[in-house]
Amino acid sequence: MPTVNTHGLAEESVAPNENEVISHFIAFIEKASVARNPQGPILRFNQARTAGCVEGEFTVRDDFPTDDRSASLPRHTRFARSSGLRARRTTRPIATRTYTACRYAWTTSPVRI
Amino acid sequence: MSIRLDDVPGQNLTPGSTKQDVVLNSHPVMVVPNTKEFLSFFEAYEAGGLKRVAHLAAHPRVAKIGLEAQQHPTCHLDIPYWSTTPYLFGPGRAVKYVTRPCSTRTSTMPPELTDHYLRDALPVHLAQDDACFDFMIQFQVDSHRMPIEDASVEWKEEESPYRPVARIRIPRQRIDDDVRVKACEEIAFNPWYCLAEHRPLGNMNRARKIIYETVSQFRRESRQ
């Protein structure tokens, strides 16, 4: 069932035994990984099939909705700022910036139900 | 689909890193709500046979989401992707990330769905045409119907629309040469390579921080 909560927006709720569960998770992955790869190097547990990597451009739009230009947005624009990259000059508060050094990768999970 | 932006200035949550990674899935939700259920699922899956069947019978929601997530897209460039887990968007605001394809070209389904048809389709598309995605965010507007801690609940687009933030352009390129393939295998994406303003939120993301680091180190040591 979906978790019911009474928290505010963007608020997290940490379960008391969370770290214990995570430790068990790690122990399980390590044990299962060794069992899968007894002779050779350990491969990624659940994302072993990489389809490919590409390079591209990530350009922040200059028409980002006005109602989202809150206090957080100027910081968010740093999400797309990068040294040595092309950036179009603009007088708008939200600069359009282009990454030329971003990378994208696809993997196919082998887990099937 | 995973995205890495390099040389991003600002306070990064991984000391020394200037990367901003975005890790996405091809289904809007995870099959399980949290790490505890994920461990239970993986244990049953790894055991196989009757244990796997029994687990799915006892967790019909997991089975339902898992079946819904099964798909045979024409190409990795032709489908949308979702972060499934939330991220901070400055103080007091949470978002999920979504990418939606905007390429003018889409691939055709091959006559036979081999195990590697998707891997084959990607270089074919990019040898002939650019590809394009709209990068969007979706704000959390209700903490109950759009929970932070349950990654198996979809944040409905009707409740909070996807807002385009950026355009991803992938120019035509060769991606299947040996150097590129080797480099690709060595990339390890981690949502905790990110600015503090975009801190990963929720149980799954908190677990990823520890699990990714520990298991990655474990894999490295196995190669020595």
Q: Structural domain boundaries of chain A?
A: 18-108
Question: Residues A72, B195: contact at Cβ < 8 Å?
Answer: no
Please list every residue in chain A whose beta carbon sits closer than 8 Å to the beta carbon of residue B73.
none
How far apart, in whole angstroms, are the C-alpha atoms of residue A60 and residue A80? 6
Name the residue of chain A whose CA is nearest to B71's CA: A112
**Structural domains of chain B ordered from first start:** 2-26+76-222 (2.40.180.10), 31-70 (no CATH)
pTM to 2 decimal places: 0.84
pLDDT of amino acid B187: 76
Q: Do A13 and B149 touch (CB under 8 A)?
A: yes
Distance of CA B140 to CAs A31, B31, B89, B154, Å?
37, 20, 10, 11
Closest-CA residue in chain A for B208? A22
With a cut of 90, say whether residue A88 has pLDDT above it. Answer: no
A18, A61, A72 ranked by CB distance to B89: nearest: A72
Q: Cα(A25)–Cα(A28) distance, rounded to whole angstroms?
A: 5
Residue B99, phi then psi, degrees to nearest 5: -120, 140
Rounded to whole angstroms, the Cα distance separating A14 from A17 reads 8
State CA A113 to chain mean position distance.
Answer: 25
Residues 43-62 in A contacting B (C-alpha not used; CB under 8 Å): 43-45, 49-61
How far apart are alpha carbons A107 and A48 in whole angstroms?
A: 7
Highest mean pLDDT (candidates A53-57, A78-82, B96-100): B96-100
What confidence category does residue A64 fall into, taking pLDDT thresholds of 50, 70 and 90?
low
| Chain A residue with Cα closest to B126 | A54
Give whole-number Cα distances, B219 to B87, B101, B135, B159, B169, in Å: 27, 33, 32, 41, 33
Token look-up 């507007």 returns: B141
Tokens matching residue B91:
């103080």
β-strand partners of B157: none
Entry field: residues in chain B: 224
CB contact (8 A) between residue B168 and residue A56 = yes
Q: B76-94, pLDDT tens digit by residue?
A: 899 999 999 999 988 899 9
How many Cβ atoms sit within 10 Å of the Cβ of residue B140?
A: 23
Residues β-bridged to residue B95: B87, B139
Q: What is the DSSP letter of A48?
A: -
How far apart CA A80 and CA B21 sit, in angstroms, is 12
From the list A12, A66, A10, the residue with the least C-alpha distance to B91 is A10
**What pLDDT, on a 0 to 100 scale, did the predictor assign at position B69?**
87
Is 80 exceeded by the pLDDT of residue A21? Answer: yes
pLDDT digits (tens, 9 = 90+) for B96-107: 999 999 999 999
The predicted structure's pLDDT at residue A5:
58
> How confident is the model at residue A24, as a pLDDT?
96
- Say what the pLDDT of residue B109 is: 94
Q: Name the residue facing B66 among A12, A37, A113 (closest C-beta).
A: A113
A90: which 2 tokens?
A: 């603009």
- Our CA-based measurement puts residue A66 at a distance from the nearest CA of chain B, in whole angstroms, of 11
Is B6 or B68 the better-scoring residue by pLDDT?
B68
Cβ of A64 within 8 Å of Cβ of B163? The answer is: yes
Q: Please, what is the end-to-end C-alpha distance for chain B in angstroms?
A: 29
Looking at CA atoms only, how far is residue A10 from chain B in angstroms?
Answer: 5
With an 8 Å Cβ cutoff, are B76 and A44 in contact? no
Amino acid at B147: P
Would the pLDDT of B44 be above 70? yes
Per-residue confidence (pLDDT) for residue A83, from 0 to 100 = 27
Q: What is the pLDDT of residue A69?
A: 38
Look at the block and give the residue holding tokens 């190669």. B223
Give the CA distances from residue B6 to residues A51, B36, B110, B173, in Å, rounded to whole numbers and listed in that order: 21, 33, 35, 19
Give pLDDT, residue A100: 37
In degrees and rounded to multiples of 5, residue B115 shows phi and psi of -65, -20
Torsional sign, CA A48, A52, A57, A61: negative
